[in-house]
Structure 1
Amino acid sequence: MKKYILLILLTFTFLGYSQGQSSVPGFLRAEGKKIVDANGENVILRGIGLGGHMLQEGYMLKVPFSGQQYVFKEHMQELIGEERTEEFYEAWLSNFTQKKDIDSLKSWGFNSVRLPMHYNLYTLPVDQEPVPGENTWLEKGFEMTDQMVEWCRDNGMYLILDMHAAPGGQGHDVNISDRDPSKPSLWESEANQEKLVQLWKKLAERYKDEPVIGAYDLINEPNWSFEEGKNLNGIEDTENTLIRDLQVRITEAIREVDNNHIVIMEGNGWGNNYNGILPPWDDNMVLSFHKYWSYNDQASIQQFLDFREEYNIPIWLGESGENSNAWFADAIGLMEENNIGWCWWPLKKLGFNNPVEIKVNPGYRDILEYWAGEGEKPSEEEAYEAFMQLAENTKIENGIIHYDVIDAMIRQPHSEETIPFKNITVSEKTKIPAAHYDMGNDGHAYKDNVSGNYWVSTGGDRESWNNGRVYRNDGVDLFLENDEVHLGDTEAGEWLQYTFQAEDAGGYKLSFRVASSKDSGKAAVDINGKEAGEMEIPNTAGEWQWQQLGDIEFQKGENKLKFRILEGGFDLQTIKFEKTK
């Protein structure tokens, strides 16, 4: 019965269940190679980043143009005007993250949140300051942060402040920092650097006595080369003097007012190039690294383990994700085996491989087609309604909760046990969608020939693990057609497992709804570990047909059906059970 408890929790907690008033056990701090709480207990941060909230990135919005937020905003203004665009952003900032999001994260098993901040919610850009060199402080960002602190406090969770968009922008990857390349970057402007220093000091003054704040992540993913002839994003630079010096300046400004909080450093080259940045310059500091699309083996993190050992400093996987469930489970398992906390990216976007998927309303889809040159320009009213519906869809109760992703992050790193995707009871006549195979690790709940994206390690193309990119985030290839999900792109050696309850022991006729344009499809079915039979999958000219296997004996209570693909090339939509005796 225990195996169903998690499923029940996952099914209901997104409604906004609150843990009640609670608090974290004091300030986090760096103690040797560990992050510890006020009681000296080792803390593994299990977190998620709120990407898309304060700072939009184009890929999260599926836009067909340069992905900076200001570019998206300009395109929106062309359709609905400045006043309505501001109305949209007020709704977006209000809806995207609410208390029920943080309540849900806590109930799912997370203990921390990383807040990617856009500096322009806290202060004006340098070229808009009424008095050059002065700082105009804006209440919006601080009020939003105060609210996030309160929600995290209510749930006993840590909040990590992450400067995701620094004044001027911190890299050539312009999307992640909303950078305008026509203006001086953070690294080309002393005024931008000083504004960043003063912003961090202002934040530290405000939150110096707040233990819910877990740490200050000073500059997200610097990616800028300072050496001629090197990769523009700084992955090859050997000195990185300015990156170190600016983070030292920020730390000194913070320490003028706040000696309580951890300071998190980041290297060049999207956070991972620490040449010239080490050694650490503060005794309450954590070294962050980011990990995407690489193998999940010890070698992939060895340089950071070496830094931890050499400099006696905790390390933290400050950002990772954008991959498959199998990759998530393996990566998180690797981190926790090495006592490394982690933070996934992101909680929600217009996409399927994160805990919450924001629905694309038809009007916004029309706008995307117009922007791509494939559709007609919508009227102002049509566009306004579509954008406001998009903002409404960012609320967690209006999104699609991907419990398979949550399971892969929280349970699967520590368990090879499989659990049902849905609670299924087979009676007189029952149908199971093919997409409702069990939740669990690759090789236990299912087997697919491509179950993750490892292009950074392989040097190859980016692979899609779920070729249809819908419904679930495993290697299983699922496709949406006529509002129904089916399994496709089947290959020999792949299989799926289904766990269900039978009301009574006895015989059942098994049928499978399949479609194929080939003559060589073949599958086998195992019941409770024993082969129950094989069947040929005929060429159906791509049309759906029921293919019967025969009478199968099920035991009363739990049964497991494994559908094995012997020769692929066919699609599977539904499994049907009909009791015969």
Structure 2
Amino acid sequence: MKKLALALLACMTTLPASAQTFLRADGQRIVDESGNPVLLRGMGLGGWMLQEGYMLQLGQLGSGQQYRIRASIADLIGEEKTAEFYQAWLDNHTRKADIDMMARWGMNSVRLPMHYNLLTLPTEKEPVAGRDTWLEDGFRRIDTLLAWTKANGMYLILDLHAAPGGQGNDLPIADRDPDKPSLWQSAENRRKTVAIWRKLAERYADEPGIGAYDVLNEPNWDFSAPGGDHGCKETGNAPLKQLYTDIAAAIRQVDKRHMLIIEGNCWGNNYQGLLPFADRNTALSFHKYWNYNDEASIAPHLKLRETWNMPLWLGESGENSNVWFRDAIGLVEKHGIGWAFWPLKKIGFNNPYEIAPNPGWAKLVAYWTNKGPRPSADEAYATLMQLARHDIRHESNLFHADVVDAMLRQPHDPSPRPSAPLLVTAEGGAFDAVDYDIGPAGIAYRDTDDANYHVSTGKSRTLWNNGRTWRNDGVDIARADDESLYVSDFKPGEWMRYSLSADGGGRYTIEVEARSDKGGTLSLTLNGGTPLALAVPTGSGWQKLRIPAPATLLDGNNMLVLGAQSFDGAVRRVVFVPAR
């Protein structure tokens, strides 16, 4: 992994961070104080101040809300140690090193998903009804993050991800308890939400490092005719517009300069009834997941921008393959729309950083999902603290360089790049099949399934890399019991490209390690020449197979394409043996 990361960082072009002045809405553009357009590129810090079950492999634990996760932890180790765990989690999940690296990649903004309970008490726990208790530790953490982003010339966008009571029926995203009044069922919850934004605006009114106030993440609520459709068919959205109006008025009492961002119902996409919006220093945010990356997919949002003369921002997107990332970002940037992808890190492979939990975590997950025995309190505590004090820290995370490349380079430069130094000398050389080039599908590789489009197709979700490890492309990669990696489910018509460097050139016999229950033929094409066929006999074990005739490598750069001509199986390694 380090080899692949260093190879990318060595060739990545870093985008300069903008000098920080207040951002504002200027017609259909987001601009700085000099009127220069600003294209926001960044990540959302999901999982830090608000946990969602799927980010921890706990999607089956209730509905994945943080309060359920916390209760399950407390059941094992008690309330006092649970508080210790969450303190360590907040201290270590996101640190200056994470923000520094984002800036090094070329990102200029950070979206912070905030849980209201880090800033104030729930309404039912307030000592005096209608009076807000402010929690300084939560504000202090925002201050610290702001110092890190400012040091890198980046904008920090504040996002109220979990509002008091919860803003929708997609429960985990707002940590909503359905047994308590929601945001929309409680006037006191709405009052507290407005008060939170007034408090934040008071604190940051004179801070240009705050890019915008994203006032409510993904409302998804049926106001007029509850039917489980998450507000997607609402035509009025009057309660949502009223709340936005109240929040804007409270902010403007103390802060005249910061740009506001509002999101439509239906996870940020249904703006019916919400426009026009009185505050003109406001941008519209839409969220985009699992649909096609064509003009039709953003046409309704472009129409809103033109009709109401307001800027657009893709405030949340991700959870897909590199192909999807590249195409989505290329599409919106073509229209001058900035973006914040989701999330920076989680337990999972399709984000820049992957949290690799210690072995004890699998036992906890198994217990919580009714697949294993209950661990002892001491064992659970050790596992949880190892996760919070070590595993989630920047230096312990696995860096997925291919993901960052797909976001920042590939939308503008589709050329393939080596994923790792693949060198062949006079003594020969070898490389793993998983170290194919970094680049777009059709250029660096070809695979039958390379993205998830289930929202557009109406079909079941597609898993592009069904091994869920190492790379986020369509190539299926598996991890063996000994932790070695190999390309699995390599099917006819699929191929991978490798950039090789030969020291002096020469003639070599090529050997491939492969296996197939059905047998078949692989093809190897060197420097665009005639494909060389390699027959793979039927067998369940790995076989080392050689091309009969030696191939000639050029001195310097070479290109090898390994294809599954009529092959259905797995490949592990390619070896160059000097021809004698």
**TM-score bucket of the superposed structures, by smaller chain:** over 0.9
Structure 1: stretches of 5+ with no match in the other structure: none
Deviation of 1:7 after TM superposition, in Å, equals: 5.3
Map 1:53-92 → 2, pairs under 5 A: 53-63=48-58, 64-66=60-62, 67-92=64-89
Q: Provide Cα deviations, 1:502-559, integer angstroms capped at 9, x if missing partner.
A: 012110111111111113x21111111112411111112x101101113110001111
CA distance in 2, matches of 1:297, 1:425: 39
Map 1:142-157 → 2, pairs under 5 A: 142-157=139-154
**Residue identity in the other structure for 1:49:** G
Asked if 1:380 is matched to 2:373, the reply is no
TM, length-normalised to structure 1 = 0.96
Deviation of 1:440 after TM superposition, in Å, equals: 0.2
The residue that corresponds to 1:45 in the other structure is 40
Deviation of 1:381 after TM superposition, in Å, equals: 1.0
Deviation of 1:568 after TM superposition, in Å, equals: 3.0
Q: Provide Cα deviations, 1:405-441, integer angstroms capped at 9, x if missing partner.
A: 0100010111110000111211213221110000000
Asked if 1:396 is matched to 2:394, the reply is yes
The residue that corresponds to 1:277 in the other structure is 274
Moved over 2 A (4+): 4-13, 22-25, 229-232
Q: Percent identity?
A: 49
TM, length-normalised to structure 2 = 0.96
Within the candidate set 155, 173, 176, 1:179 is matched to 176
Deviation of 1:8 after TM superposition, in Å, equals: 4.5
- For the residue of structure 1 that corresponds to 2:530, the secondary structure is strand
Within the candidate set 25, 28, 36, 2:20 is matched to 25
CA distance in 1, matches of 2:171, 2:10: 38
Deviation of 1:229 after TM superposition, in Å, equals: 5.3
The residue that corresponds to 1:307 in the other structure is 304
Asked if 1:440 is matched to 2:450, the reply is no
Q: Provide Cα deviations, 1:430-466, integer angstroms capped at 9, x if missing partner.
A: 2211100000000000011111000001111100100
CA distance in 2, matches of 1:444, 1:432: 20
The residue that corresponds to 1:510 in the other structure is 510
- For the residue of structure 1 that corresponds to 2:203, the secondary structure is helix
User: Compared with structure 1, are the counterparts of its residues 6 and 34 closer, same or farther at alpha carbon in structure 2 (3 Å cutoff)?
Assistant: farther
CA distance in 1, matches of 2:11, 2:88: 26
CA distance in 1, matches of 2:530, 2:278: 63
Asked if 1:141 is matched to 2:106, the reply is no
The residue that corresponds to 1:549 in the other structure is 547
CA distance in 1, matches of 2:175, 2:10: 36
CA distance in 2, matches of 1:368, 1:568: 37
CA distance in 2, matches of 1:188, 1:210: 34
The residue that corresponds to 1:490 in the other structure is 490
Deviation of 1:484 after TM superposition, in Å, equals: 1.1
Conserved? CA contact 1:25–1:38, under 8 Å: no
The residue that corresponds to 1:237 in the other structure is 234
- For the residue of structure 2 that corresponds to 1:544, the secondary structure is strand
CA distance in 2, matches of 1:509, 1:381: 56
Conserved? CA contact 2:288–2:317, under 8 Å: yes
Q: How many residues align?
A: 570
User: Compared with structure 1, are the counterparts of its residues 469 and 8 closer, same or farther at alpha carbon in structure 2 (3 Å cutoff)?
Assistant: closer
CA distance in 1, matches of 2:81, 2:228: 41
- For the residue of structure 2 that corresponds to 1:83, the secondary structure is helix
Map 1:351-370 → 2, pairs under 5 A: 351-370=348-367
**Residue identity in the other structure for 2:538:** N
Conserved? CA contact 1:272–1:289, under 8 Å: yes
Conserved? CA contact 2:515–2:538, under 8 Å: yes
**Residue identity in the other structure for 2:579:** T
CA distance in 1, matches of 2:202, 2:311: 25
Within the candidate set 407, 419, 423, 2:405 is matched to 407
CA distance in 1, matches of 2:239, 2:25: 25
Asked if 1:35 is matched to 2:20, the reply is no
CA distance in 1, matches of 2:464, 2:419: 19
- For the residue of structure 2 that corresponds to 1:496, the secondary structure is strand
Conserved? CA contact 2:103–2:152, under 8 Å: yes
Q: Provide Cα deviations, 1:104-157, integer angstroms capped at 9, x if missing partner.
A: 000011110000000000000000000000000001110010001100110000
Asked if 1:164 is matched to 2:170, the reply is no
- For the residue of structure 2 that corresponds to 1:237, the secondary structure is coil
Conserved? CA contact 2:7–2:418, under 8 Å: no
Asked if 1:213 is matched to 2:210, the reply is yes
User: Compared with structure 1, are the counterparts of its residues 288 and 141 closer, same or farther at alpha carbon in structure 2 (3 Å cutoff)?
Assistant: same
Conserved? CA contact 2:5–2:400, under 8 Å: no
Q: Provide Cα deviations, 1:189-226, integer angstroms capped at 9, x if missing partner.
A: 00000000000000000000000100000100000001
CA distance in 1, matches of 2:329, 2:202: 34
Within the candidate set 340, 343, 355, 2:340 is matched to 343
Conserved? CA contact 1:537–1:570, under 8 Å: no
**Residue identity in the other structure for 1:65:** L
Deviation of 1:287 after TM superposition, in Å, equals: 0.4
Q: Provide Cα deviations, 1:224-268, integer angstroms capped at 9, x if missing partner.
A: 001225443111111110011101100000000001111001110
User: Compared with structure 1, are the counterparts of its residues 229 and 96 closer, same or farther at alpha carbon in structure 2 (3 Å cutoff)?
Assistant: closer
Compute the RMSD of aligned alpha carbons.
1.7
Q: Provide Cα deviations, 1:74-98, integer angstroms capped at 9, x if missing partner.
A: 0001111111111111110000000
